[in-house]
Structure 1
């Protein structure tokens, strides 16, 4: 590979060397490299890019070397942060109940409960920001509003990415997309508005409200129903000993759908099965949500 003469050539070679790597890793590596190279250029104002690159070739490394370091570091960090894997189960029932040892399923279930609050916040922020941006765009001073709003959208993308990575285990960027400070501010602002990832991020933030409602409803309904069925025998025992009065059962309107006494063992078994099924649902939702976040929030590595 030829020695790069410009920062852009260096970044292109680094992107090529990272071909096939996770797009989030590529974004982080490109950000770090460009930030370091631009800082070196600022410290050597009288030298060309080729001279600065030749000077720091030994300290920072060639694009291929830097790519190999990032890939290796990513492997080490991923292995260190990976939660303990539950023992592999061969039987169907073993795999079904083995979900109880999967920490990622519990984190995904918590994400489903949290998604309603984050979805409401994201939706409100986007709708309010777009409304103010469009309404004030006719004023000269109003141009500051859409610039600040689209900048905040990028911040929210990073915040959501951290939530997704911590709770769902999907690798997300830890650095923003680099904004070249040497470019005129008008070009940087125009790039922010024309970047397809800005608009896909807006779409993601808007989608989080309906998705959050669905996730929260499924999680709450599933947990509440399973716990009600599991503790039905306990309630029956309290009624038997006179601690509680009345009939214990599962009601829909005025109709009892679970006979109070006879079906409590069946209700208990169904409650346990439903609780474990909810963990499987949560893990599946976590994988789908992680894939959606990766697709809409992370730029392609190409």
Structure 2
């Protein structure tokens, strides 16, 4: 795989849009797709503006007379949802912008009257209507900018080829100022080797600057699509809370099952064996004191082993070194147990909260375990720092790569653990070039 990105929480993570380099931008399909999108904005704006304004105005006008205006407005709002679907598809096809669907329409009360009330109160439909209204002035501007900038750029670049054509019209070159060859006055033409060369050079400069203008305009388009045609902020927050709550419950249940299994198979079995040995020693206390003494000594050793297992279990629940000395010492202890050399760098101005610190510890522990078992790496690095008021940790190795969160329970479990504290996790693991996992926590 090339890059696998996961952002949690959230039902539909946003896919990052690849950006061509400055020098490759004029020849990239992405820039020309954005140009096409900006050009089509005019036609979408005209049709969408007419749809919204005409039918909403007609509905308002009909409401006092025939009471048919409100269903017409409701139908217009519902049709705007369809426009939103088309515009999300256009943004995906031409700009590579993947935007999640808004919340589905829900009719709160049954019947035709209930449908009218629900459609009139549909926030997603009204936001799509606002998008169509705004698209008219914005579409006029983007159409003019996209067409004008590329037309001027291409005209200046090809001017050395087109300049001889002006001679057929009795003109030495393109008319820069004046009234033309058949009118009196001081006319200024773009002619001469130096002038033509200068025009060509300016055209080359514009060839690389125009894609940057297109990118800026396309960024506004992307913002409008995400803000007005995607999920509403509150519904997105509710969905994120549902996902986070489910992840927290699943993580807690998994930890409880692990603790129960460790107690049942380890300390509990050892304590049952210890009780049986002490019972036999008690029976032999009078008849065979030497055998009873040996059995007590063995029971004493069993107690030590049981205590060690309980300490290990408690350390697995919450490591003592993490509580006592913080994340730096705890991660260094984990790195020392890894089968490959690990460099640990921790730069934190203060200790994070206990839940976040614990999630960071277990995340690094699991990732280093994966490095030991599956990566085939010869070295690894662990970095922890604060970025934009969020705890950021990165684990990288030089192994064979190819890690995919969609296949395998290890990374999927980490996603759930990170999601439980409203964090994000991204995996970059191209085959043959190692794996890099970046996690951000609040």
Gap change, CA 1:253 and 1:113, over 3 Å in 2: farther
What is residue 232 of structure 1 aligned with on the other side? 159
Instruction: Rate the CA distance shift 1:170–1:253 in 2: closer, same or farther, 3 A.
Output: farther
Deviation at 1:267, TM superposition (A): 0.4
Indicate the residue corresponding to 1:291 in structure 2. 223
Encode CA deviations 1:156-198: one digit per residue, 9 max, x unaligned: 111111111221222123x563234684134443233223333
CA deviation string 1:25-46 (max 9, x = no partner): 3xxxxxxxxxxxxxxxxxxxxx
C-alpha spacing 1:151/1:263, structure 2 compared with 1 (3 Å)? same
SS at structure 2 position matched to 1:251 = strand
Pairing 1:20–2:20 present: no
Q: Let me know the Cα RMSD of the aligned residues.
A: 2.8
The reply to whether residue 136 of structure 1 matches residue 62 of structure 2 is yes
**Post-superposition CA distance 1:184-221 (Å, at most 9, x none):** 13444323322333332222111101101110111111
Aligned to 1:115: 41
- 1:62 matched to which residue of 2? none
Retained in 2: the 8 A contact 1:104–1:283? no
Give the TM-score normalised by structure 2. 0.45
- The CA distance in 1 between the partners of 2:22 and 2:195, in whole Å, is 24
Corresponding residue of 2:198: 266
Please give the secondary structure, in 1, of the residue aligned with 2:23: helix
SS at match of 2:176: strand
Higher relative contact order (CA 8 A, sep 6+): 1
Is contact 1:114-1:216 (8 Å) kept? yes
Greater strand content? 2
3-state secondary structure, aligned to 1:123: helix
Structure 1 or 2, whichever has the larger Rg, is 2
| Other structure's SS at 1:96 match | coil
The residue aligned with 1:91 is: none
Shift of 1:252: 5.0
Q: Kindly indicate whether the alpha-carbon contact (under 8 Å) linking 2:34 and 2:215 is maintained by their aligned counterparts in 1.
A: yes
2:24 corresponds to: 98
8 Å contact kept, 2:60–2:70: no
Q: Distance in 1 between matches of 2:123 and 2:133?
A: 16
State the partner residue of 1:213: 140
Shift of 1:127: 0.9
What are the equivalent positions in structure 2 for 1:26-175 lying under 5 Å apart? 86=20, 95-138=21-64, 139-173=66-100
Matched, 1:178 2:104: yes
Whole-angstrom distance in 2 between the partners of 1:290 and 1:164: 8
* Structure 1 unpaired stretches of 5+: 1-17, 26-70, 87-94
Q: Per-residue displacement from partner, 1:34-61 (whole Å, max 9, x unpaired)? A: xxxxxxxxxxxxxxxxxxxxxxxxxxxx
Contact 2:164 2:173 in 1 (8 A): no
| Structure 1 equivalent of residue 172 of structure 2 | 247
- Residue in 2 aligned with 1:53? none
Contact 1:170 1:291 in 2 (8 A): no
Q: Against the structure 1 CA distance between its residues 224 and 180, is the aligned structure 2 distance closer, same or farther, given a 3 Å change threshold?
A: closer
TM-score norm. by structure 1 comes to: 0.63
Aligned length: 219
Alpha-carbon deviation of 1:247?
2.5
**Structure in which a larger fraction of residues adopt helix:** 1
